[in-house]
């Protein structure tokens, strides 16, 4: 992890990072649910994570569900769906280690990018700036997330075709 990002993560508020990761995962979860509409485990993992953030449950109460969500992702061949589930698993894992928020954002960006393949540059660009879109966390994100991190996510969306790698 680059030193500047490592410093940002060290200073970042875990709750804000967690909510940001949750929003990243939420934006792409439908890629999975459209194909596997009877499988609600990823949705349940995200809901449980939100319950954890709101103090309704403890981390250990949904840890097994997180591990199951990681397993689900390994089994899926559809890349946007796989990356969407990985984004959910990484977001929920922020309850354990806040650095997982970066993984949630990365996989959400990859899901958008792979879903966008074959579309016009214009549609890719419109998907690529959702960190700054209107969301319930827009102001806290702008205050608390360094420009470099927002750039990282926007670049990941725009260039993951060229990067073509998995972390």
Question: Mean pLDDT: which of 20-24, 123-127, 131-135, 161-165 is highest?
Answer: 20-24
Question: pTM for this structure?
Answer: 0.71
pLDDT at 113 over 80: yes
What pLDDT score was predicted for residue 131? 46
- Cα–Cα distance measured from residue 49 to residue 6, given in angstroms and rounded to the nearest whole number: 24
Q: What is the number of domains present in the chain?
A: 1
Q: Give the domain range for residue 19.
A: 3-163
With beta carbons less than 8 A apart as the criterion, state whether 101 and 94 touch.
yes
pLDDT at site 153:
58
- What's the confidence (pLDDT) of residue 29? 96
- Per-residue model confidence as pLDDT tens digits over 50-103: 999 999 999 988 899 999 999 999 999 999 999 999 999 999 999 889 889 889
Phi–psi pair at 97, nearest 5 degrees: -140, 120
Contact 102, 9 (CB under 8 A): yes
Mean pLDDT for 126-146 is 47
Question: CA 112 to CA 81: how far, in whole Å?
Answer: 10
For residue 144, pLDDT over 50 is answered with no
Per-residue pLDDT at 129 = 46
Q: What is the pLDDT of residues 9-62, one digit of tens each?
A: 778 788 888 888 999 999 999 999 999 999 999 999 999 999 999 999 999 888
Q: What is the DSSP letter of 164?
A: -
8 A C-beta contact, residue 84 and residue 107? yes
Residue 130 token pair: 């959702």
């Amino acid at each position: 992890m680059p030193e500047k990002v490592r410093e940002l993560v060290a200073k970042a508020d875990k709750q804000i990072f967690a909510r940001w990761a949750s929003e990243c995962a939420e934006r792409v979860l439908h890629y999975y649910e459209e194909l596997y509409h009877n499988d609600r485990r990823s949705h349940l993992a995200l809901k449980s994570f939100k319950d954890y953030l709101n103090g309704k449950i403890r981390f250990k109460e949904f840890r097994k569900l997180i591990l199951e969500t990681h397993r689900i992702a390994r089994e899926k061949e559809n890349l946007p769906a796989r990356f969407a589930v990985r984004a959910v698993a990484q977001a929920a894992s922020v309850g354990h280690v806040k650095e997982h928020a970066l993984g949630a954002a990365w996989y959400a960006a990859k899901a958008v990018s792979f879903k966008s393949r074959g579309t016009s540059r214009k549609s890719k660009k419109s998907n690529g700036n959702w960190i700054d879109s209107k969301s319930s966390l827009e102001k806290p994100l702008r205050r608390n997330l360094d420009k470099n991190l927002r750039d990282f996510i926007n670049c990941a969306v725009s260039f993951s075709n060229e990067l073509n790698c998995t972390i």
